[in-house]
Amino acid sequence: MAYSNINKPNEYFNTKLYTGNGTGQSITGVGFQPDFVWCKRRSTSGQNFLQNIVQGTNKALFSDSTSAEFTGGVDGGTSVTSFDSDGFTLGTEGGINGSGGTFASWNWLAGGTGVSNTQGSIASTVSANTTAGFSVVSWTGNSGTVGHGLGQKPACIIIKSKQSVNNWVVVNQGLGTMSGNVLVLNTTGAASGGGAGQVEPTANVFTITSGLAANDNNIGYVFAEKKGFSKFGSYTGNGSSNGTFVYTGFKPAFVITKRTDSADNWGLLDNKRDGYNLTNKALTPNSSGAEYTTNSPASDFVSNGFKIRQSDGVINASGGSYIYMAFAESPLVAGNYVPTTAR
């Protein structure tokens, strides 16, 4: 079996910034053909567009909305029209390519065109990259087990119905258990027991119930933790601008945080929009709002984690409980060799 060095995390995840032109354009410089593209307008309000290769081109879901899948987007234009060797091509949809607007895109490498998976009691279509610990999974139904293709227990799963008006449901090992406890990506709500009947995922499958998925077509983004590349966990806030330090084992390129014991916004930071510390240009997955810096989840991205520099409740309330998702810019220690399925 071939082996790959994950010393280059940007071969599996990368942030790409761009300016919209309103007429269609190819976005290059991602460094690989992305299988999951998440785009958000920065300069003004605009929805979070999430598209993937399993759903197909020009089909979007919005992390800030319960809406079913859109063909194109909110203004009737075309969104991501192709997944390309070094990026993706945009159509005329203003929410993703409005003329003169500034945008961020976050891009993950999965396993290309989805393949059938029958490891669960419900058949699924899976695009999996076992090197990066990431798969896109599609299935129909809300009672049973679903194969995810990673060969490793997931640390985070994000689920949304494609057909129905339903919440985005998130389970994360930072909640202490992936059995029963859930968060909702499109709201500010605290963690709840909304995943009743849910059990811990395994190396091959995760279990879904009516609390997690609709009884129709669903999409799931499934992440396993990979040393030097991704980390999913929890921390406790201290309410100080000299905030909590969160160890990840790498310099982050992308961090999402969410308070779990009280209602507050999700926060999203990356290493490209500021480009230096302090990293405080924030976007909010549960909101269509523009990029902001006031009361943002401001942090320093350092060689082995992130150091919080804000006392606001969105990231660092005194005694507050938080979960996070982080992906690497560079590992702390070189030489994390893992089997590769990267294209």
127-146 mean pLDDT: 96
CA atoms of 275 and 51, how far apart (whole Å): 25
* Residue count of the chain: 343
pLDDT confidence bin for 66, thresholds 50/70/90: very high
Which burial class, exposed, middle or buried, applies to 158 when counting CB atoms under 10 A from its CB (0-12, 13-18, 19+)?
Answer: buried
Which burial class, exposed, middle or buried, applies to 274 when counting CB atoms under 10 A from its CB (0-12, 13-18, 19+)?
Answer: middle
The pair of three-digit structure tokens given for residue 55, joined into one six-digit string = 């759903």
Closest CA to 53 of 77, 98, 12, 84: 84
CA atoms of 282 and 303, how far apart (whole Å): 20
What lies within 8 Å, CB to CB, of 193 at 6+ separation is 180, 181, 182
pLDDT confidence bin for 335, thresholds 50/70/90: very low
Residues linked to residue 84 through DSSP beta bridges, in sequence order: 87
71-109 residue pLDDT tens: 977 778 899 999 999 999 999 999 999 999 999 999 999
Please give the single-letter amino acid code of residue 148: H
Percent helix, strand, coil in the chain, to 5, is 5, 40, 55
- Per-domain boundaries in the chain: 13-108, 117-223, 230-331
The pair of three-digit structure tokens given for residue 29, joined into one six-digit string = 């410089």
CA atoms of 122 and 138, how far apart (whole Å): 10
